[in-house]
Amino acid sequence: MDTTVQALFPAHLAAIMDRTARALEATGFDGLVIASGEAPLQFADDQPYPFKSSPGYKLWVPEATPGCLLVFEPGCQPLLLFRQEVDYWHMPPREPDGAWTSGFDLRIARNAAEACDAVPRGRRWAFLGTPEPAWQGRAEPNPPDLVARLDYQRAAKTPYEVECLAKASELGAKAHRAAERAWRGGASEFDIHLEYCRAARAREQELPYNSIVACNDHGSVLHYQHLDPMPPAEHRSFLIDAGAPYAGYGSDITRSYAATTGRFADLVAGVDAAQLRLAAMVVPGRDYRDIHLEAHRLLAGVLADCGLIKGGVGDAVESGVTRVFFPHGIGHLLGLQVHDVGGLMGDASGTERSRPEGHPFLRLTRELGPGFVVTIEPGIYFIDLLLEEARADHRRSLIDWDCVDSLRGYGGVRIEDNVVAQSEGPRNLTREAFGRS
């Protein structure tokens, strides 16, 4: 861990302990046990799926290892039960020795039963994680009231968390640069992905999410999931949505490129300019729903400038034409999870803040607070399904179909940055990182 980040960890741990103590008191629990998780076995096989640590555990512990337990009682030093089995089939995990460990009572457990037995009895424990038989009768699994309070708090990131996300953005920007070079060199989606992983210094299973590496019309598939091993016959466009990990946190970055100048390159430039204006709106007190609705107004202007729609910006928004080209939400909370929890919560009890009418896919509806880290990801896509629906209804006359047909083969554009809401103005972690890469 970087020394600058290390120096911020003690204050982060103290803040998490204070938040958790207040949530436990409010819900009547004596303490909290958080499992790091296990790697589940594939069906009818003895091969496990890749291990992904519980986000609740990663909030406390920067290193993810299967089978560990974090035990917290207010007023006590957190207990970290680190499972280190004796095994000649696999290399046992190395005992943690980073500076962050000084904040914990670190004990080694040789198996799951030993870890469970080390947790004191006679307490009213809450247990976070996949329910396990060993905890039946000893702890209440995932109590909703407590989970809601903890999830609600997670939106506001500590300075330590922000710096972890900044480091993840630095790694992501470096890897994005490598991916762009590979694409411009004529590589396939598969080979671009390999270059990305190499530059990020991460195995595929260590990335925050499955990368979207899309050439040409594949960019019209919002969550394109394949990696074509053969390069396309013609390189027209490239969209890559990929992040990088750092100490349990992950960046979430998208960039789009045109192979040549022309209308699609103008579209990329227009979306990029709109994205920067939207990122500038990320400040404490802003209703995130307003950013989403402003995205539709700005993108309507981009569509008009590129000749894709007819009529005024207001007509495009009111008629739903912008949703044909921009069907997803403007972004989401970011942190320990790519789509971090609590995005629709209006308060600590879990009351939901509604999405704007006609916008069912928005993942974040909260008023932004200091330390909130969000993505801002406007896009314009040529999705056959949505275009054909529009051609069949009242929106037909508001779209220039010849212009649409000239751009279908380019797939789409998305530009995505990771932005921190701060009282002194937004901090765009992604633009910072690209400026240094």
pLDDT tens digits, residue range 338-353? 999 999 999 999 999 9
CATH number of 3-153: 3.40.350.10
Q: Quick one: tokens of 310? A: 């007819």
Q: Mean of the pLDDT values across residues 378-383?
A: 98
Tell me what the pLDDT averaged over the chain comes to: 96
User: How do the residues of the chain divide into helix, strand and coil, expressed in percent and rounded to 5?
Assistant: 40, 15, 45
Least confident range of 107-116, 361-370, 375-384, 412-421: 107-116
Q: Where are the domains of the chain?
A: 3-153, 159-436
Element (H, E) at 137: none
pTM: 0.96
Q: Which pLDDT band holds residue 131 (cuts at 50, 70, 90)?
A: confident
Residue 311 Ramachandran class (φ > 0 left, ψ -120 to 50 alpha, else beta): left
CA distance 73 to 29: 9
Angle at 394 between CA 388 and CA 397, to 5 degrees: 80
CATH number of 159-436: 3.90.230.10
Does the fold of domain 159-436 match that of domain 3-153?
A: no
Q: Mean of the pLDDT values across residues 149-169?
A: 98
Q: Mean of the pLDDT values across residues 172-183?
A: 98
pLDDT at 87: 85
pLDDT at 64: 87
pLDDT tens digits, residue range 31-52? Answer: 999 999 999 999 999 999 999 9
CA distance 296 to 291: 9
